[in-house]
Amino acid sequence: MAALTTRQELIDYSLRRLGFPVIEINVDEGQIEDRIDDALQLWQEYHFDGVERVYIKRKLTGTELNITSATAETFTKGEKIQGGTSGATAIIQSREGSQFIIDNIKGTWQTSETVTGLESSSVATTNSNAATFLVKGDLENGFIPIGDDILGVTRMFKFGAVVGSKSDGLFDVDYQFALNDMYNLLSADVTYYSMVKTHMNLLESLFVTERQVRFNRKTNRLYIDTDMDKTFDVGSYIVAEGWAVVDGETYGEVYNDMWLKRYSTALIKRQWGENMKKFGGIQMPGGVVLNGDQIYLEAVNEIATIEEEMQIRYELPPTFMVG
């Protein structure tokens, strides 16, 4: 038999294992689809082949402030703007057309109010649509939106060294150390280099701690336990490590997983038994007696065995996905 590569092939395989087309399987198509969904969900959440390590990159966004005319570029980048009615203030990070990207927001902006640039003296009016005139960005929201395919986030990468969070290029400690001691490294052993690197790693572990993150799959939000608007700038990048589900629509080999095929068949069999239980003991023409209870009990026992096998043989340790 060829390897299964689609959802429909998995359904057909499960029905054939139950006896179709030799015998009729009394399960509705919608019920079959539901049981396949149940099987895929458990496989993706617990089977080690159902997830993969991913790295989530995001460019942090600022809040959008929309105005009625395409005059945003008459304002100066980096200047403070103020609302004429609310008195709210903000700093322009970028501007184009009829839109500002702002941060360092103080106060609450209002619709249809005058916006004045405190340096350029330019004037504009905010949009009258309450739903779209102000669209909060990542820094204002205080969280990062995460896709539905992410099961867990384990950590957020830190950048920089002990000399400062933005240390890079020529001023990076590692670069300067290697530059100044390259001759020694090439002409002698690396004992000194190894000792200094170990000491630097110790300093980093003491003074540059891992950023604490919180993530719940049901909200699809990644919270970073810091003052977002004070720690990050608009346009900064963050990189986090997480686990994402392996989608069968993208990777067809999912449907050929041995455990998934057995579990899908058992779930459909249980549904078959549930459908037939109310006809238990009824004698059909030819003397055939329906026994939905036996089909149901057999399926329940099979499901318990298969799920126990998942826990023993295929499930990832829980600590791998805590974050």
pLDDT tens per residue, range 51-105: 999 999 999 999 999 999 999 999 999 999 999 999 999 999 999 999 999 999 9
Per-residue confidence (pLDDT) for residue 117, from 0 to 100:
96
Q: Could you read off the pLDDT of 204-238 as tens digits, one per residue?
A: 777 666 788 999 999 999 999 888 888 888 998 99
Determine contact, residues 101/64, Cβ cutoff 8 Å: yes
Dist CA 98 CA 58 (whole Å): 25
Q: For residue 250, which phi and psi values (nearest 5 degrees)?
A: -95, -40
Q: What is the DSSP string of 253-320?
A: GGGG-HHHHHHHHHHHHHHHHHHHGGGTTPBPTTS-B--HHHHHHHHHHHHHHHHHHIIIIIBPPGGG
Please report how many Cα atoms fall inside a 13 Å half-sphere around the Cα of residue 60, on the Cβ side.
25
- Determine contact, residues 46/123, Cβ cutoff 8 Å: no
120: amino acid identity, one letter:
S
Check: CB of residue 243 under 8 Å from CB of residue 51.
Answer: yes
Q: What is the mean pLDDT of residues 15-31?
A: 95
Ordered by start, the domain boundaries in the chain are: 7-47+257-321, 55-60+155-233, 63-136
Name the band, by pLDDT with cuts 50, 70 and 90, for residue 280. Answer: confident
Confidence of residue 191 (pLDDT cuts 50, 70, 90): confident
pLDDT band at 199 (very low <50, low <70, confident <90, very high): confident
**Poorest-confidence range of 18-22, 137-141, 203-207, 318-322?**
318-322
Structure tokens at 70: 């395409």
Report the residue count for the chain: 323
Confidence category of residue 201, pLDDT binned at 50, 70, 90: confident
Q: What is the pLDDT of residues 112-165, one digit of tens each?
A: 999 999 999 999 999 999 999 999 999 999 999 999 999 999 988 876 444 444
